[in-house]
Amino acid sequence: MPEFLTLLPPADALQKLLDHLRLAPVPDQVDTQRALGRVLVSPVIAPHPLPEFPRTTVDGYAVRAANTFGASESLPVYLELIGEVPMGAAPKMSLTSGKCVLIHTGGMLPEGSDAVVMLEYTQPARPQEIEILSAVAVGENVIEIGEDVKDGQEVIPPGTRLRPAEIGGLMALGFTSVAVARRPKVGIISSGDEVIHPGEKPAPGQVRDINAYTLSAAVEGVGGEPVFYGIILDTHQEMRAAAERAKAECDVVVVTAGSSASSRDLTSQILDELGEPGVLVHGVNTRPGKPTILAVCDGVPMIGLPGNPVSALVNTHLFVIPVVKALMGERTTRPQPSLPAKLTINLPSQAGREDWVPVTLESTPEGYIAEPIFGKSNLIFTLSRADGLLKIPADATGLSVGELIEVYLM
């Protein structure tokens, strides 16, 4: 079996692939209430300030702050109650010195008031008179006009993956529909004479297809649209026909298996035939997943992954998911969910190779501990039992017991 001649670090290999792509998201106008997890393609500009009127954050009495100065339980201040602010409407009264108005959370401050005394620090004294037991400062318990958002302010930049908070913000500004990136179609091809559909009973030497479904779930999880092209036999004619069709119909093509450097490897040859510039990377210095192929064929990224399920899924996170996110224009400034944990054992590694190791996490009074899960790269439940992955950098020869490491949550 020929050796891989050039093994790039995963980050360098990914960048080489991204440098050859035309990253221009296609807009898709959707209802905001259905936009959760989608990626914004253009900035959201506030059409008006938020809030649009001064409002209270508590139940209490709208006052002039100066009228409460010095108030305490032992020396209360007495103010005349002149009315109540109706919810959902502008108050009809204005406040003059020595007066107060009953107001409820979210209500609009009447003209002349500049603070609100919480209900807990008041009590009725006589009819239409309120005893104030605590002083307030100007602006206390009040949200001013534009305190959340200024008129004309960019509130959500393009490339943002919309979370519940952004959905709520869009609705608060009246955006009931929003332009998001179209979901990239990701063609998934499983190859191998020994691979069968999961619904079939394997004969000796056969295995059920795993990768098509783990890849599909991973792609859907970041907003892509998986497209299945079935299980293809290891022949040049069948593999090329499936790859050509997927390339014509999809934004990304992923082929699992057939990416080792054996004599039966067709993936690299076929991807090199399908368009310019062809194969960019054949082999990355990572474990698992060294025999990974990265190609661009006439603008379409095409990725060949190892057939072993663990290798395929780990390298899906390293290469396929970043490509899908890039095609949607997603910014990568938000941190990946991770947490620090102490390693329970020594983990050796080969210098010059980046290793990814599945671990389980256990909470202790001193923090989390990470227990590595050892298993070969064709054992899918190795990852199923894991809470996350830790990375041994290429410039290290391993990690030591008790060392504080970062675990990337799965």
Neighbours of 175 (CB within 10 A): 18
For residue 4, the model assigns a pLDDT of 47
Better-predicted residue by pLDDT, 120 or 306: 120
Q: What is the pLDDT of residue 264?
A: 43
Digit-coded pLDDT (tens) for 275-307: 999 999 988 888 877 889 999 999 999 999 988
pLDDT value for 46: 96
> Is the pLDDT at 239 greater than 80, yes or no?
yes
Residue 377 pLDDT level (bands cut at 50, 70, 90): low
| Residue 386 pLDDT exceeds 90 | no
Cβ within 8 Å of residue 30, ≥6 positions away:
38, 177, 178, 180
Q: Mean of the pLDDT values across residues 309-322?
A: 90
CATH 3.90.105.10 corresponds to the domain 27-50+147-181: yes
Give the pLDDT score at 3: 42
Q: Could you tell me if 241 and 289 are in contact, meaning their C-beta atoms sit under 8 angstroms apart?
A: no
Q: Which tops the pLDDT comparison, 374 or 239?
A: 239
User: pLDDT at position 356, please?
Assistant: 85
Tokens of 244: 């050509």
Round to the nearest angstrom and report the end-to-end CA distance of the chain: 34
User: Over 70: is that where the pLDDT of 202 sits?
Assistant: yes
Q: What is the pLDDT of residue 378?
A: 58
Reply yes or no on whether the pLDDT at 372 is more than 50.
yes
Residue 150, pLDDT > 80, answer yes
Q: Is the pLDDT of residue 367 over 70?
A: yes
Q: What is the CATH number that goes with domain 55-143?
A: 2.170.190.11
Q: Between residues 145 and 9, which one has the greater pLDDT?
A: 145
The CB-side HSE value for 316 (13 A sphere, CA atoms) comes to 28
315 within 8 A of 354, measured Cβ to Cβ:
no
More confident position, 250 or 403: 250
* pLDDT recorded at residue 245: 96
Per-residue pLDDT of 36-52, as tens digits, reads: 999 999 999 999 999 99
Does the N-terminal peptide bond of residue 335 adopt cis geometry, omega within 30 degrees of 0?
no
- As a whole number of angstroms, the distance between CA 102 and CA 54 comes to 15
Looking at per-residue pLDDT, the higher value among 232 and 116 belongs to 116
pLDDT higher than threshold 60 for residue 259: no
CB distance 341 to 401 below 8 Å: no
CATH number for the 338-409 domain, one of 1.10.599.10, 2.40.340.10, 3.40.50.1370, 3.30.70.980? 2.40.340.10
Q: Which pLDDT value is given to residue 302?
A: 96
Contacts of 403 (CB under 8 A, 6+ apart): 342, 343
Question: How crowded is the C-beta side of 364, counted as CA atoms within 13 Å?
Answer: 13
Q: What is the pLDDT of residue 376?
A: 59
**Which tokens in the block code for residue 306?**
């190892």
CA distances from 288 to 217, 306, 309, 355, 356 (A): 20, 9, 10, 7, 7
Residue 118 pLDDT class (50, 70, 90 cuts):
very high
Tokens of 104: 């409820």
Q: In terms of pLDDT, which residue wins out, 217 or 205? A: 217
Q: Do domains 10-26+182-327 and 338-409 have the same CATH topology?
A: no
SS in 3 state form for the chain? Answer: CCCCCCCECHHHHHHHHHCCCCCCCCEEEEEHHHCCCCEECCCEECCCCECCCCEECCCEEEECHHHHCCCCCCCCEEEEEEEECCCCCCCCCECCCCEEEEECCCCECCECCCEEEEHHHEEEEECCEEEECCCCCCCCCEECCCCCECCCCEEECCCCECCHHHHHHHHHCCCCEEEEECCCEEEEEEECCCEECCCCCCCCCCEECCHHHHHHHHHHHCCCEEEEEEEECCCHHHHHHHHHHHHHHCCEEEEECCCCCCCCCCHHHHHHHCCCEEEEEECECEECCCCCEEEEECCEEEEEECCCHHHHHHHHHHHHHHHHHHHCCCCCCCCCCEEEEEECCCEECCCCCEEEEEEEEEEECCEEEEEECCCCCCCCHHHHCCCEEEEECCCCCEECCCCEEEEEEC
Please say whether the beta carbons of 135 and 85 come within 8 A. no
**What residues pair up with 132 in beta bridges, in sequence order?**
77, 122
| Domain boundaries defined on the chain | 10-26+182-327, 27-50+147-181, 55-143, 338-409
**Residue 32, pLDDT above cutoff 80:** yes
Q: Does pLDDT of 59 surpass 90?
A: yes
Average pLDDT, the chain: 90
CB crowding 274-304: b at 16 or more within 10 Å, else e: bbeebbbbbbbbbbbbbbbbbbbbeebbbbb
CATH 3.40.980.10 correct for 10-26+182-327: yes
pLDDT tens profile 335-365: 678 889 999 988 888 877 888 888 889 999 9
Residue in 8, 18, 4 with CA at minimum distance from that of residue 259: 4
